[in-house]
């Protein structure tokens, strides 16, 4: 029984790693080519800004290489990636998005890599249609009891009612793009933690909210737990 349990854990870890790799494969090429095109356009008129963006792109992909080997990273690491991604996107679409963070926890809390970025990128890609301004995305991160609560809310057009029950539960392709990133993220959260960690999505014609509730833990807490075993 112990051998069987050990083998099952190894297989589960391989599945989790595969989902992380699949998520990276979806994000990186699309983001990379858009970022390079943005930097090339800016280089003609503002070399210093182009240099800053190139450094952000370098930092972003360097961080990706590091977290590719991790099932969890700190919120500080996640925010660093998010900030690099958002600076490049907001340079690409100046004044199109208003993005605010309400972070009520310290940077040392742990979460899976790309958790926030996937939700933010999903909002930027799919929430607003052709609308060119007044596109708001609010990211809230706080502790609720023993859970880390993350919410990404937008004031976009909302999700089609027929798609809403399927998001996160199965791979989807719609007229607005692919739902694979949300599906992979949702399966990863459930596999790493529990069913309570699954995506909670609500939507109307006034916007969409996606909530995540994860077990709250920091490196210090993890070290103490290991010492107590």
Overall average pLDDT of the 42-62 stretch: 87
126 vs 59, which has greater pLDDT?
A: 126
DSSP bridge pairs for 211: 151, 200
Q: What is the model's pTM? A: 0.80
CATH 3.40.1160.10 applies to domain 2-227: no
Spans of all domains in the chain: 2-227
The segment with the largest mean pLDDT, out of 6-15, 21-30, 52-61, 127-136, is 127-136
H helical segments located in the chain:
2-43, 47-67, 75-92, 115-126, 180-192, 219-227
Going by pLDDT thresholds of 50, 70 and 90, the confidence category of residue 13 is: low
Going by pLDDT thresholds of 50, 70 and 90, the confidence category of residue 20 is: low
């Amino acid at each position: 029984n112990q051998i069987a349990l050990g083998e099952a854990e190894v297989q589960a870890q391989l599945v989790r790693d595969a989902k992380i790799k699949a998520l990276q494969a979806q994000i990186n090429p699309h983001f990379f080519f858009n970022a390079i095109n943005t930097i090339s356009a800016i280089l003609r008129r503002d070399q210093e800004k182009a240099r800053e963006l190139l450094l952000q792109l370098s930092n972003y992909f360097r961080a990706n290489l590091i977290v590719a080997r991790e099932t969890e990273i700190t919120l500080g690491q996640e925010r660093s990636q998010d900030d690099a991604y958002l600076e490049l996107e907001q340079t690409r679409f100046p004044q199109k998005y208003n993005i605010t963070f309400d972070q009520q926890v310290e940077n040392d809390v742990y979460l899976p890599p790309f958790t926030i970025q996937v939700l933010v990128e999903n909002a930027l890609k799919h929430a607003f249609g052709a609308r060119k301004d007044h596109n708001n995305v609010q990211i809230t991160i706080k502790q609720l009891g023993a859970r880390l609560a993350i919410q990404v809310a937008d004031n976009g057009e909302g999700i089609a009612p027929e798609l809403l029950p399927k998001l996160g539960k199965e791979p989807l392709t719609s007229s607005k793009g692919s739902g694979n990133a949300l599906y992979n993220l949702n399966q990863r959260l459930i596999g790493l933690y529990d069913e309570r960690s699954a995506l909670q999505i609500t939507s109307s014609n006034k916007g969409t909210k996606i909530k995540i509730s994860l077990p709250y833990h920091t490196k210090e807490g993890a070290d103490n737990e290991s010492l107590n075993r």
